Chains A and B, each alone.
Chain A
Amino acid sequence: MFRRGQSTTTAYLFLAPFLISTAIFFFYAFARAIYYSFTDFNLFNSPKLIGLQPYTQVVADPSFQRALTNSLIFAVVTTTLQTIFALLMAVALNNKLRGMAFFRSAWYMPSITSSVVITLIFLWLFQRRGIANYLITQWQTYQPLILTFLIGLVVAQVIQVLLERRSGLPARWTDPALAAVSALASLVVTAGLVWSGVAGPREVAPFDYQYFADKWISVGGVQILSIPLLVVIIQNTFTTVPTLMLFFLAGLQNIPGALYEAADIDGATPFQKLMNVTVPNLRPVTFYVITVGLIGTMQMFDQVAVIGSAAPQDTLITLAFYVYTNTFKAGAAPVNLAAAAAIILALIILLMVFIQRRFFPSEAR
């Protein structure tokens, strides 16, 4: 219908809004950032080229070094955790169970909730008088009862299995039917002990751990990972797993069922099926998930900004946050340093993706 030239024009017309906004807000902004990173720009002066000086200043800045370490550790730990959990969850949710639609949507909830809201909730959970500390206090209080119950359970199970085997029946140590009976018996015994006053909850002082304080996990005297950042890692894993799980779920649908049938015939255990059928076949998805995960975690900003001054800055500062705080100050700001840090961040991400592409092929074998 259309002549060739006309249809190209039409296509460009439709694409124009995106092309223009990408050109202005991405390519132009990126070029400006590169330019500023070689100048003495402070938002208010007319920029003058000063060569590599901003880069040397940034690299020598202790808060940049901390931000870089925090970002790298955060990226590696979070990406690893979220990839593993997402895969396991996808495998679990790929089964045909009753009410699966409910579980799928329930697990997906954290992902669609705003990260600011989740961060506020986590701040509340990990307060000094928060739920986390409350649960630990409860655990300590009821530890005697829980231990009594567990010991009772094991003893009852051992006795039952030995009895069964003596009468010539093949009973496993983990037999669920016997375990149910053992649990019931142990519960009765524990309740009896509580009632007679032999065992009971302990009096303990409230567990009073400050999660958002200047506390670090150190290796050989070098501060590696701060406790506040650990909380953010837990939170980030919690919120990103569902999205990544969705990718894995999509990937799982594409694995031919015949492969599993063949594995079943060969007598493979579920774990062997996971490692030898599922994981290799999901390689393209895994590549995508890790790439997206690394990019997302390297740019992590919102959680740190929301927690703000609730935790000491060094414990949480990331590269993106460093760039932000150096650009938006009261009055003149070292924008050239922020730009240099942003370029370094971009280079690191590019390098990560490059290494991954080079050494971890994205195609299924």
Chain B
Amino acid sequence: MKKVLTLSLGLALLAASASAQTASKTIKINGYGGTDQTLVNDLINRFVKPQMAKDGVTVVYQPLQGDYNKALTTLLAANTAGDVMYLPAETVDGFVATGKILPLNGLVTPTPFIKSLNTAFTRNGKLYAIAKDFNTLTVVYNKDLFDEAGVAYPNNNDTWTSLATKLRQVKQKLGSDYYGTCLQPNFDRFGAFAYATGWQQFGANGKTNLADPRFAEAFNWYTGLAKDKVGVQPSELSAGWNGDCLKSGKVAVAIEGGWIVNFLRDNAPNLKFGTALLPKNNKTGQRGNFLYTVGWAINSGTKNKAAAAKVLNILTSPQVQEYVLQQGLAIPSRSSLTNSAYFKKADPGAQNAKLVFQGADDGYVRAFTFGPKGPDWAKPINEALASVLSGQKSAADALKKAQADMTTFQSR
């Protein structure tokens, strides 16, 4: 009996040390589940594994299903997170505060990447991630509705006024069953317009000023579209988001990012759509835009810093990014890709990709983020938008309440 016990104990110890040895030569990558799982595995097999195999390093992808940020937090707290991982720009502050994200200064060269993307991942002069790809907002329109109404398509020279006029005309010509656009009562669409006025998300003291006349200007324009039902909330059309609205064929314009292309391809294959840049603010003459981006970051607790950095460099290399672009999956983050042949194609998807790419450094472009206190920051703004769009409050009242709520939130 004793012998068996000693033997099995010995075996277990051996197995443990053996697995520890292989673990030291494995680079684990954490990222999203869903479609990313196939894509990243494909990238790893094609580009990362062959190069890392020379150094005797194996690479595995461990997707986190469900809420990625929560899952990653748990893994980081338990010291079981991967060596390399996705870091969404909107949650950078929370993760940087954990001290578990390795500053990349000196490990990678940030210069080939679009500057505003690097800014999105920089805190106190330290770069915490390299953007893997990104998206910005564009005006995606239903060509048939504009043709039928005899109104000119939205274009890259549109201002807030000219775009609003076009939407009003479409609504007037086509009647009450049709709408100009869908307006999500959310900072994650509306914010781009606030930026166009030159409004700052956080002032010098780190506080948000919603009483700023520039913010009010954007707020009034956005909610003003709801008058005469030119702009409606997606919920009023039983739609979940702007893409659903456009898909219904009753809405002329959707303000969305490049993700709408594959959605329309799958759900409304006969819908003819075009893309334009977001309209310019009349006063500043600038557009505003969001950068929605996810970066590659390194776990500060990794045992193989050099190997992890190498994997990160391969994942953001020109070959990988060109491949991703060619597949029509995402817009890569290297500024040199502006000359890619893909952008010259006539197909509406490629055209959309081109404008999403252009949007990244045209006008007041800011990363989509909520600051150090997380997504609750946007709550007062979202509530104000919802109450005005649904006609419960006047814009002035809603803004006053939003500012009061914001002050309470930020002084907590």
What is the interface of chain A, defined by CB distance below 8 A to chain B?
Answer: 42-44, 61-62, 127-129, 210, 213-214, 312-313, 328-333
Contacts and interface: CB of A to CB of B under 8 A. Distances in A.
B386 A43 contact: no
Contact of B73 (A127, A129, A313, A331): A331
Given A44-B76, A61-B412, A128-B235, A331 B97 contact: yes
21 contacts: A43-B73, A44-B77, A44-B97, A44-B99, A61-B412, A127-B238, A128-B236, A129-B238, A210-B390, A214-B386, A214-B387, A328-B67, A328-B73, A329-B69, A329-B70, A330-B73, A330-B95, A332-B94, A332-B95, A333-B73, A333-B94
Contacts of A128: 235-236, 238
A259 B32 CA distance: 66
B95 A331 contact: yes
Contact of A330 (B69, B99, B386, B387): B69
Given A44-B77, A128-B238, A313-B379, A331 B96 contact: yes
A312 B95 CA distance: 26
Contact of A328 (B70, B93, B235): B70
A214 B73 contact: no
Nearest to B412: A61
Nearest to A313: B379
Interface string B34-78: 000000000000000000000000000000000101101110110
Nearest to A57: B412
Q: Which 10 pairs, one residue from A and one from B, show the smallest C-beta to C-beta distance? A: A331-B94, A330-B69, A330-B91, A331-B95, A332-B97, A44-B98, A330-B94, A43-B77, A328-B70, A332-B98
B386 to A, nearest CB: 7
Range of interface residues on chain B? 20 to 34
Interface string B85-113: 00010010111111110000000000000
Contacts of B95: 330-332
A330 B235 contact: no
B238 A330 contact: no
Contacts of B100: 44
B8 interface: no
Name the residue among B72, B74, B98 with the largest chain A CB count within 10 angstroms: B98
A360 to B, nearest CB: 40
A312 B100 CA distance: 32
Nearest to B100: A44
Given A43-B77, A213-B390, A312 B91 contact: no
A328 B70 CA distance: 6
Interface string B256-294: 000000000000000000000000000000000000000
Given A330-B91, A330-B374, A214 B383 contact: yes
B408 interface: yes
Nearest to A312: B383
Nearest to A129: B238
Contacts of B236: 128
Contacts of B70: 328-330
Interface string B356-396: 00000000000000000010000100010011001000000
Name the residue among A42, A43, A214, A330 with the largest chain B CB count within 10 angstroms: A330
A72 B100 CA distance: 39
Nearest to B72: A330
Contacts of B98: 43-44, 331-332
A43 B100 CA distance: 11
A329 B99 contact: no
Nearest to A310: B235
A290 B261 CA distance: 54
Contacts of B387: 214
A43 B77 CA distance: 6
A228 to B, nearest CB: 13
B73 A329 contact: yes
A17 to B, nearest CB: 22
A278 B75 CA distance: 55
Contact of A213 (B88, B374, B386, B408): B386
Nearest to A325: B376
Interface in B140-190: none
Contacts of A330: 69-70, 72-73, 88, 91, 94-95, 374
B197 to A, nearest CB: 26
Nearest to B409: A62
A214 B387 CA distance: 8
Contacts of A62: 408
A61 B72 CA distance: 27
A197 B223 CA distance: 45
Nearest to B69: A330
Contacts of B408: 62
B251 to A, nearest CB: 17
Nearest to B98: A44
A209 to B, nearest CB: 11
Nearest to B186: A309
A275 B111 CA distance: 82
Given A43-B73, A43-B77, A128-B235, 11 more contacts: A62-B408, A127-B238, A312-B383, A328-B70, A329-B94, A330-B72, A330-B91, A331-B93, A332-B95, A333-B73, A333-B94
Contacts of B73: 43, 328-331, 333
A71 B100 CA distance: 36
Contacts of A213: 386, 390
Name the residue among A127, A328, A331 with the largest chain B CB count within 10 angstroms: A331
B74 A328 contact: yes
Contacts of A312: 383, 386
A330 B67 CA distance: 10
Nearest to B408: A62
A333 B73 CA distance: 9
Contacts of A127: 238
A61 B412 CA distance: 8
Nearest to A324: B70
A72 B405 CA distance: 24
A38 to B, nearest CB: 20
A33 to B, nearest CB: 16
